[in-house]
Structure 1
Amino acid sequence: MSNPIPSSPILALRGVERVYKTEAGALPVLRGVDLDVYPGEVVGLIGPSGSGKSSLLHSAGLLEHPDAGAVTLEGRECSKLSERVRTRIRLGTVGFVYQFHHLLPEFTALENVALPLSIAGKSQREADARAKELLEGLGLGHRLNHQPAQMSGGEQQRVAIARALANRPKLLLADEPTGNLDPATSAAVFQSLYEIARQEGVAALIATHNMELARYMDRVLALKDGHLEARTFS
């Protein structure tokens, strides 16, 4: 599943460190992480619970400040920027998918996906058109007017993926996006995520425990003792 890789990464991490303070003392989680993720590339991030996968994603997505190192998005180093500027960059550049879909229960699938577009200033017509395009691309054309409770877990997660991509982010960060689903549904949702990431040309970094899915990504990196190691599958 490899395409030619463009020369400039969307996300570049250099020497990123993250240390948490605990009652027992300092707990280093990331110890100088280097990482590049390119447009149209789907990169898997694996590692045991507590290894720092979420911390890495939060640093990459400007939700947390690293304790050391540089986070560069689209060529702009963001580590030392103000929170206001970081928030603006995050809203315009990064889409997030979590293990739980966090859809608004009273809204339809179409409304859930259109909402971030409306917040970004798009007209209702533009927002609905983009939401419909994404949902149909994810095989949910028949669910546009259904509320989350009327959909399966896999369908709900596809809606969450569409919502994350609504504002055409350059970087998609996913934290165990299929962790709540059964194996067959996980595979289907991952395939949908992979295909639409390709179509949209986003750089995708996906944390997962699912080794069967990880082997189908373009690259897989294992987080071990605070460092990233390339992982290959036979």
Structure 2
Amino acid sequence: MEGLKRYWPLLLIAAMLIGGIVWYQARQAEERRVEEELAQAQGIVRVLSATFSNKTALKVGEINGTLDVTSVDPGAVPLLRSSQKATLPYSVGYTLDLKDLGADDYAWDPKARTLVIRVPLVAADPPNIDESRRDVAGTSGIFVTRGASTNLQRRASQLATAEAGRIAAEPANLAKAQANAEKLVADLARAPLDAAGLGPVTVRVVTPASGVRDGERWDVSRTIEQVLADRQR
């Protein structure tokens, strides 16, 4: 025991040295991990910025069909009242606006190797009415003037445009277009990430209001831009 007590200070110093070496190595490993994550984040920002820089708007879907409308021209006097039934084909496209997509819309989780991209909601384009395929089922009136005929056609187009816009704004159609948009953005992002040699990366696309997909909650509170700013301070 006396001999052990004699060497106790040396053993304590040796233990402290070993502990210091272990702590230093752990710190070095952590710094390397942070640098690797930073490089990954910077690489992702560069790759995605190049991918989406020329894609300010993406067409992500379209609906089309035909509409039966009845237009009425009141005429200058009641006897000149006329009406017309017509069928008009229509189409409405859906667009995803990406012009404001920036680094603050990307969130990177290095542990899960998951990239979350926030995109805006899709918007329906103005309806397109194919006048060249207008089918007039019948016109009624005692006397249909040329001006009345023009008014009937114009009114039919207005009615068809309004109805096509209403159909395009239905939640089911918007939801389908939004799902198409998110899949398209994920596919566009995944290809260049694979080509850049970043390895397997899971890409999740959400809207600012969602953040929840398939029963999982994705934290998009810290973006790549914020992470880079914090680590460069």
Asked if TM exceeds 0.5, the reply is no
- Computing the radius of gyration from Cα coordinates, the structure with the larger value is 2
Q: TM-score, normalised by structure 1?
A: 0.24
Instruction: Identify the structure with the greater helix proportion.
Output: 2
Higher RCO structure (Cα 8 Å, ≥6 apart): 1
